[in-house]
A = this chain, B = another copy of it.
Amino acid sequence: MNQFIQTDPWMLVEDRFDPARVKSSESLFALGNGVMGGRANFEERYSGDSLQGNYIGAIYYPDKTRVGWWKNGYPEYFAKVLNSAFWIGVDVAIDGEPLDLACVEVLAFRRELDMRRSVLTRRMTVRMRSGAEVEVEVVRFLSLERRELGVIRYAVRPLDRAAEITFSPYIDADVRNTDANYDEKFWEHVSTEGDAVQSRTKKSGFDVAWAQRVFLDGAEFRCETTTEQVRHTAAVRREAGEWATLYKYVGICSSLNHRPEELIAAARAVADDGADAMFGPLLREQEEAWAARWHSCDIEIDGDDAAQQGIRFCIFMLLQTYTGVDTRLNIGPKGFTGEKYGGVTYWDTEAYCLPFYMATAGREVARELLVYRYNQLDKAIENAAKLGFRDGAALYPMVTINGEECHNEWEITFEEIHRNGAIAYAIFNYIRYTGDEAYLAEGGAEVLLSIARFWAQRITWSEARKKYVMLGVTGPNEYENNVNNNWYTSYIACWSMRYAARAVKWVREHRPEAYADLCARRAFDEAAETAKWLEIDANMYLGEDRELGIFLQQDGYLDKEQVLVKDLDPAERPINQKWSWDRILRSCFIKQADVLQGLYLFRDEFDAATLRRNFDFYEARTVHESSLSPCVHAILAAGLGLMDKAYELYLRTARLDLDDYNREVEEGCHVTSMAGSWLAVVEGFGGMRVSDGLLTFEPHLPEAWRRLAFRIDYRGRVLSVEITRASVTIACEGAPVEVVLGGEKVLVEDTVERALK
């Protein structure tokens, strides 16, 4: 654990410069506006250790697969979101000496990321090698209103003498990915025109143009643009104490939204409009846009400042990463904070992120996430066909950016198929929360029936057991590979088939035209296919140990030596670093919630005693070496009233990156698992869920918290929920709504309060 970042409810603050911390802080102080983002690299030259990163959502490169041993069915490439042009560049020199924090003496340094408005500020005082002392203040933001605009104000003043200050704002399009399988450069240069440069991704052929407009107190810039670098340089003289202030407006436009031949003009127009609007008004615009965003999703925690900052940071990062304006976008595991995991889409989106966006950004935004998968349905069918499945069965990829599978470990790519269940569940979860049943007719049922078809082929009949079985899978617990009858996967598969049958029935009954279209397009025979699904469901083998009263994670799980996590030598942890892979596989230790993931998703279907027995059994064996794990256990623990356990588990997620528990934040932040922290607070401690069609709250506050308040968007209204040790209060902005509070139905018109037992 690392307490470098100061605790503050709305700010990330660091108040000293430590070269060893630069990469970590680049991740933590990253900016994003939902369509693009980047690491908190310094604008000026920095010759120390740094990881440059500027990313544009959905602009990817298909990096040729690298494997040790090829397996049939592996994809040809891994699509990676690219490190793109370094648009923030501002080289600075004082009397000709470059400003470079690795070379000068840093007398004072303070960096703040204001989460309320997504603005990054850096103030510092340095002593140059010449002896000159200089103060610097840099403000940077990516406009939330103007998705193609980046803004920088770079101010410098000499403190102890007059000095000539040279500014060289630039855009450098000659960039590479650190993570490149064959050390290739992914971009090729298209053209450069003085203030703008255009590049094209190799193979995938996306074009992007960057253009800058720069202003410096009326000084004249001379253009020093080279092939892949746009650069303007100007120098001004300042007396001691006098500021020289550079403004830089950068337009970043891609062929996702413009014709390639118009890109440079578009980027210039964005930069010009930004310059015309001017820095101050743009900053206010940014404040207002972010205030509106926070209005429906803030969480307040009284009595636990670290938790307060932690959860705000999670919400803030999620808001920076995805805003639901474009169905081609999704949520990469590291968001816009690093290259790792290629910026591509995992089942994290459906299992963890969707509930957050649903409850904070509203139906439209959440629906975009469903449409993303709907648009990729044909690719999912192709993907399944590559593996030998027929007749329109769909297997969604483990990792994707355009619908094609990218991952290449057979035990995951081909076997971690529960992701298909998460994608089906997301549709159910979305409709349950938003009430938007019509979505079934507008894509939902089509996805569901294609997934059900996959399960119906993937599940096979065991003549030996006289039951249906599912062989050769990897469950959410990736510390087991190629197992038979993983309970979670089998359960969600059966559930998917039942739900698909209900979904197509709903479409038939409510939207006959859509139904006819669906049957025709997908060659769907409802009677025959749903009968098969339900027959499989009725005869499916689901492992259970009656003596222990638990569901069996998979066949043979109880054959393992049953050692508990508490009895593991701490020197052996984390086992994923200390043990060989086979030893991990043979052990009973669980990487992340597996049976418990199922009990979490389907908790209305199990009684408390069952939940408790399974929780006690599996929590004792779970090492939580995935950032997606503790939140699920925390929610279940809170529901079971195991508050110490719940709080302990919650702490493992909420400040994971801020305190850099795993010593890896320099690679980027765990963005998707931040949604898990939100779930732990709202669903765990807030006890919120939708049950029997009603929004329900059963709050359980951790010992340390005096008050928890959160806001959610629920079917078009904003509900403010405030929980103290004594009571729960709900205020409603918008149409009255019936909720369940402490087991009792209540109509919330304005505000209701209920005492807590």
Contacts and interface: CB of A to CB of B under 8 A. Distances in A.
A555 B555 contact: yes
Contacts of A585: 472, 482
Contacts of A387: 580, 582-583
B586 A471 contact: yes
A461 interface: yes
Interface in A589-613: none
Most chain B CB within a 10 A radius of its CB, from A411, A555, A577, A578: A411
Nearest to A480: B482
Most chain B CB within a 10 A radius of its CB, from A463, A472, A562, A578: A472
Given A68-B65, A388-B580, A559 B484 contact: yes
Contacts of A521: none
Most chain B CB within a 10 A radius of its CB, from A386, A388, A465, A578: A388
A410 interface: yes
Contacts of A757: none
Interface size class of A (residues with CB under 8 A): 35 or more
Nearest to A483: B482
A561 to B, nearest CB: 5
Given A558-B462, A559-B464, A561-B460, A472 B68 contact: no
A442 interface: no
A68 B77 CA distance: 11
Interface string A623-658: 000000000000000000000000000000000000
A465 B545 CA distance: 13
A386 B463 CA distance: 41
Contacts of A661: none
Contact of A73 (B410, B558, B581, B586): B581
Interface string A553-566: 00110111110000
A536 interface: no
Contact of A409 (B68, B560, B577, B583): B68
A352 to B, nearest CB: 22
Given A482-B585, A580-B386, A585-B482, A559 B462 contact: yes
Interface in A243-282: none
Most chain B CB within a 10 A radius of its CB, from A471, A558, A577, A578: A471
B68 A559 contact: no
A3 interface: no
A408 interface: yes
Contacts of A72: 576-581, 584
Nearest to A389: B583
Given A555-B555, A583-B388, A471 B71 contact: no
A481 interface: yes
A74 to B, nearest CB: 8
A442 B725 CA distance: 77
Contacts of A411: 482
Contact of A581 (B410, B462, B555, B562): B410
A510 interface: no
A129 to B, nearest CB: 41
B67 A558 contact: no
A456 to B, nearest CB: 14
A168 to B, nearest CB: 38
Given A72-B580, A410-B582, A579-B72, A558 B481 contact: no
Nearest to A78: B68
Nearest to A547: B464
B66 A463 contact: no
A69 B412 CA distance: 11
Interface string A29-69: 00000000000000000000000000000000000011111
Contacts of A464: 558-559
Nearest to A408: B68
28 contacts: A66-B68, A68-B408, A68-B409, A71-B581, A72-B577, A72-B578, A72-B579, A72-B581, A73-B580, A386-B580, A387-B582, A388-B580, A415-B582, A460-B560, A460-B586, A462-B558, A462-B560, A463-B562, A464-B559, A465-B559, A471-B560, A471-B586, A472-B586, A481-B481, A481-B482, A484-B556, A484-B559, A556-B556
Given A387-B583, A414-B580, A414-B581, 17 more contacts: A69-B409, A72-B576, A72-B578, A72-B579, A73-B582, A386-B580, A387-B582, A411-B482, A460-B560, A460-B561, A469-B559, A471-B586, A481-B481, A482-B482, A482-B585, A484-B559, A556-B556
7 smallest beta-carbon distances between A and B, as pairs: A73-B580, A414-B582, A71-B581, A464-B558, A462-B559, A67-B68, A387-B580
